[in-house]
Chains A and B, each alone.
Chain A
Amino acid sequence: MQSNTQQQIPNSKFLIPYCLHLADTTLILSHRNSEWCGHGPILEQDIALTNIALDLLGQARNFYQYAAMLMGVEFDEDKLAYLREPNEFKNHLIAEHPNSDWAVTILRQFYFSCYQYYFYSELKNSNDEQLAAIATKALKEVTYHLRWSTEWVVRLGDGTEESNTKMQNAVEFLKDYVIEFFVMSDYETELLKDAVSIDVKAIQGKWQQKVNDVFEEATLNFVPSPNSRFGGKDGEHSEHLVSLLEEMQSLQRTYPNSVW
Chain B
Amino acid sequence: MIKKYYYGDYGEIEGGVSSNKSETEFPLWEVFIRSKQGLDHKHVGSLHAADVAMAMENARDVYTRRMEGVSIWVVESKHIHASNPDEAESLYEPATDKIYRHPTFYNLPDEVGHM
Contact = CB atoms under 8 A, between A and B. Distances in A.
Interface of A: 42-45, 47-48, 51, 144, 147-148, 151, 155
A222 to B, nearest CB: 24
Q: Which 4 A-B pairs have the closest CB atoms?
A: A44-B58, A48-B61, A47-B61, A44-B47
A155 B54 contact: yes
B57 A151 contact: yes
Interface string B63-87: 0010000000000000000000000
Contacts of A155: 50, 54
A63 to B, nearest CB: 23
Contacts of A42: 26, 48
Interface string B39-51: 0000000011110
Given A44-B48, A51-B61, 14 more contacts: A42-B48, A43-B48, A43-B62, A44-B62, A47-B61, A47-B62, A47-B65, A48-B58, A48-B61, A48-B62, A51-B65, A151-B53, A151-B54, A155-B54
Contact of A48 (B50, B53, B57): B57
Contacts of B49: 44
A72 B17 CA distance: 65
Contacts of B50: 155
A44 B47 CA distance: 7
Nearest to B51: A155
Contacts of B47: 43-44
25 contacts: A42-B26, A42-B48, A43-B47, A43-B48, A43-B62, A44-B47, A44-B48, A44-B49, A44-B58, A44-B61, A44-B62, A45-B58, A47-B61, A47-B62, A48-B57, A48-B58, A48-B61, A51-B61, A51-B65, A144-B60, A148-B57, A151-B53, A151-B54, A151-B57, A155-B50
B113 to A, nearest CB: 43
Contacts of A151: 53-54, 57
Contacts of B57: 48, 147-148, 151
Contacts of A48: 57-58, 61-62
Contacts of A144: 60
A147 B60 CA distance: 12
From B54, B57, B61, name the one whose CB has the most chain A CB atoms within 10 angstroms.
Answer: B61
A253 B25 CA distance: 44
Interface in B14-33: 26
Nearest to B61: A48
From B26, B50, B57, name the one whose CB has the most chain A CB atoms within 10 angstroms.
Answer: B57
A240 B79 CA distance: 48
A43 B49 CA distance: 10
Contacts of B26: 42
Nearest to B57: A148
